[in-house]
Amino acid sequence: MASIRFDKIGKSYGDTEVIKNLDFTVNDGEFMVFVGPSGCGKSTVLRMIAGLETITSGELWIGDRVVNDVHPKDRDIAMVFQSYALYPHMNVFDNIAFGLKIRKLPNAEIQQRVKGVADMLGLDKFLDRKPKALSGGQRQRVALGRAIVRNPSVFLFDEPLSNLDAELRVQMRAEISNLQRRLNTTTVYVTHDQVEAMTMGQRIAVLRACDSASSLDTNLMQCGSPMDLYDRPDNVFVARFIGTPHMNILPARLSDDGTEVELLGGRMPVSAQFKEGALAMRGRDVILGIRPEHIGAAHEIDWAQTQTLQGQVEMVELLGHEAILHFKVGEHVLTGRLHSHGSLPAVGDTVSMQLKCDAIHLFDKVTELRLR
């Protein structure tokens, strides 16, 4: 096992800087998820860890050595890709055994290790089959098996589930999480799916593209436990990215004494956690974030302090156990939550919704950073 430390890592292709100043550590035995929109550099970072991509600046540590110039095969890493990259002419056994054969392990040991992994992954009945005779989920398990059997110190996954249907994805998510917990191998898992990130990661690193036009000095927007990111997003980008439906993001203003927030024509007190930050920013424009589950109908909630929002219904999304209500207040469309078994409003109706005052998030309008 090993930790992975990024010490001010940068990566450019010619003049194009794609990774900037990446500076954090994946702990020994940790399951770390990299999540971010397409093109933000997730695969690039993973490929730098694997040694498939050169590092332009900074030092990459795996365990207690700098690996910038270490050959991929000497890094003791196994990688699983979105395309399973199985050998079509080999059966399951030979696909899993391939890496061990190249390393010239004794035959008996190969037999024993492949068998152990196949049992673990429920592939024992398929060892003689070629990949084309397997389902997508079974193929993905073979790709996993090929990684696990080598017993590496680091697993790297690059969107390994995106070719699978929704149900299988949920199942494989749980399998990979359980497997990682059992093996306790340091793991970096890349996805653009924030639900996958929330459900699998011990910690999540949220990345964003750093084009040279922007003022960002790093791709890393926040790194923390799933609930840290959900409850205390450091900035507007993370606030918007984590959580479905998305957090409502609205313009607001702090009162001149910094004790109240003005939102959509109403006023509410600043909650305790933002007291100091709001005082420092008093009288200024801010960005207010509120999650849809913190906007509800008066008869369905028992929140201590609420702010009434009146608007016109634009859309009602019925999800079965609840409904997501989209309603327009002034020029802003907000989303709130209703229990679907109550009587639901229709499009065009005027609704009165309650916002939970102590659940608001406040961000600096200019820097988009959380007030603190």
Ligand X SMILES: Nc1ncnc2c1ncn2[C@@H]1O[C@H](COP(=O)(O)OP(=O)(O)OP(=O)(O)O)[C@@H](O)[C@H]1O
Residue 122 in contact with ligand X, rule: CB under 6 A = no
Among the listed residues 41, 58, 160, 233, the single contact to ligand X using CB under 6 A: 41
Of 29-37, 41-49, 62-70, 95-103, which part binds Mg ion (CB under 5 A)? 41-49
- For the CB of residue 48, give the shortest distance to ligand X in the complex, in Å: 9
Give the position of tokens 């990259």: 85
Residue 219 in contact with Mg ion, rule: CB under 5 A = no
- For the CB of residue 49, give the shortest distance to ligand X in the complex, in Å: 12
Binding mask 257-296 for ligand X (x = CB under 6 A): ----------------------------------------
Residue 43 in contact with ligand X, rule: CB under 6 A = yes
Judged by beta carbon, residue 162 or residue 310, the one nearer ligand X is 162
Torsion of the alpha carbons at 41, 42, 43 and 46, rounded to the nearest 10: 120
Task: Give residue 267's Cα distance to chain centre.
Answer: 34
> Going edge to edge, which strands form the sheet with 31-35?
77-80, 154-158, 186-191, 31-35, 203-207, 220-224
- Selection from Mg ion, ligand X, none that 208 binds (CB < 5 to 8 A by kind) is none
Of 40-48, 98-106, 119-127, 282-290, which part binds ligand X (CB under 6 A)? 40-48
Residue 219 in contact with ligand X, rule: CB under 6 A = no
Is residue 65 within 8 Å of 86, Cβ to Cβ?
no
Is residue 303 within 8 Å of 268, Cβ to Cβ?
no
- For the CB of residue 88, give the shortest distance to ligand X in the complex, in Å: 24
Q: How many residues bind Mg ion (CB under 5 A)?
A: 1
- For the CB of residue 287, give the shortest distance to ligand X in the complex, in Å: 26
- For the CB of residue 241, give the shortest distance to Mg ion in the complex, in Å: 16
Stretch 183-202 residues interacting with ligand X (CB under 6 A): 192
CA distance 312 to 290: 19
Residue 43 in contact with Mg ion, rule: CB under 5 A = yes
- For the CB of residue 298, give the shortest distance to Mg ion in the complex, in Å: 45
Judged by beta carbon, residue 162 or residue 178, the one nearer ligand X is 162
Instruction: Note the maximum CA span of the chain.
Output: 77
Judged by beta carbon, residue 112 or residue 244, the one nearer ligand X is 244
In the bound state, the residue with its beta carbon closest to Mg ion is: 43
Is residue 337 within 8 Å of 324, Cβ to Cβ?
yes
Residue 16 in contact with ligand X, rule: CB under 6 A = yes
Residue 191 in contact with Mg ion, rule: CB under 5 A = no
Judged by beta carbon, residue 92 or residue 156, the one nearer Mg ion is 156
Judged by beta carbon, residue 83 or residue 367, the one nearer ligand X is 83
Torsion of the alpha carbons at 74, 80, 83 and 88, rounded to the nearest 10: 70
Residue 40 in contact with ligand X, rule: CB under 6 A = yes
Among the listed residues 3, 25, 27, 44, the single contact to ligand X using CB under 6 A: 44
Residue 82 in contact with Mg ion, rule: CB under 5 A = no
Of 38-46, 98-106, 174-182, 238-246, which part binds Mg ion (CB under 5 A)? 38-46
Q: How many residues bind ligand X (CB under 6 A)?
A: 12
State the residues that interact with Mg ion by CB under 5 A.
43
Q: Which residues bind ligand X (CB under 6 A)?
A: 13, 16, 18, 36, 38-44, 192
